[in-house]
Amino acid sequence: MMEKTIQQNNSKEKKETNQETNQETISQMTQTPNVDDFSITHPLHSPWVFWAMVQKKQTAQNDWQSQLVKIYKCETVEEFWGLVDNIRKPSEIENWNQLFLFKDGILPEWEDIENKDGGSWQIQVKKPNPKSRNRNWSERIDNAWKNISLSLIGEQFPNSELVCGAAVTIRPAFCRISLWTKFSDEENQMKIGRHFKTDLEGFSENITFCFHSDRPKQQRGNQPKYKI
């Protein structure tokens, strides 16, 4: 009888010890982190810069350059999310305005030395009737831009060293999202384009690639260089 009582007591003590150990582990895993922990940052592989173009209507090229405004350079993941959470989404941008995210050191201009021999992948999506309040369209545009932005700062594109940046352009009748790349051959451009297409989830429209130097010709009806 005494031996049985001792065994029961030992079993009870062991159970209580295990419960205390489990509770301590749970406490450690769920405790509120120290304030100092929030100072820990995660550097990006390369800094990225948000730019904006605020216009009332279409303007000449020289005026366009003067209206290009640098918003902020993000060097860490935390800086990126801090800005994204406080910047307008594409669906909230007014007509004729543009938002850019470019690798630091590269201006969102065709004339920049890193851009001048390259081109861009584009998707152009018709805007819904303003009276329809198409929330689904807004969510798809915003999600697509977020996906592309994350692929940029995370260097997720194939041959990411060839990717310069991205732009979202708002016009009265459409929204255009562009991915700018440096000069390269068809194989590399197509790899980048396919990833770009994947980030544009929710849109079935074709994406097209055109060199910057050929863009005026395309606007006059010439065919794009590549299409997916």
Each domain of the chain, given as residue ranges in start order, spans: 2-31, 39-227
Contact 199, 144 (CB under 8 A): yes
Number of Cβ within 10 Å of residue 116's Cβ equals 14
**β-bridge pairing 208-211 and 119-126:** antiparallel
- Residue 18's H or E segment, with its range, is helix 2-30
pLDDT at position 38: 46
What confidence tier does 42 reach under pLDDT thresholds 50, 70, 90?
Answer: very high
Q: What is the dihedral of CA 110, 219, 177, 134, to 10 degrees?
A: 150
Task: Report, as an integer, the average pLDDT of 91-101.
Answer: 92
Q: In the predicted model, what is the mean pLDDT of the chain?
A: 82
Superfamily (CATH) of domain 39-227: RNA Cap, Translation Initiation Factor Eif4e (3.30.760.10)
Specify the 3-state DSSP secondary structure of 8.
helix
- Distance (Å, rounded) from C-alpha 51 to C-alpha 73? 9
Q: Is the pLDDT of residue 40 over 70?
A: yes
Q: Give CA separation, 103 vs 46, 72, 167, 220, in Å.
A: 7, 12, 12, 30
Q: How far is CA 204 from the centre of its chain?
A: 19
Judged against a pLDDT cut of 80, whether residue 85 lies above it is answered with yes
Q: Is the pLDDT of residue 35 over 60?
A: no
The pTM of the full predicted model, rounded to 2 decimals, is: 0.79
One-letter amino acid at 50 equals F
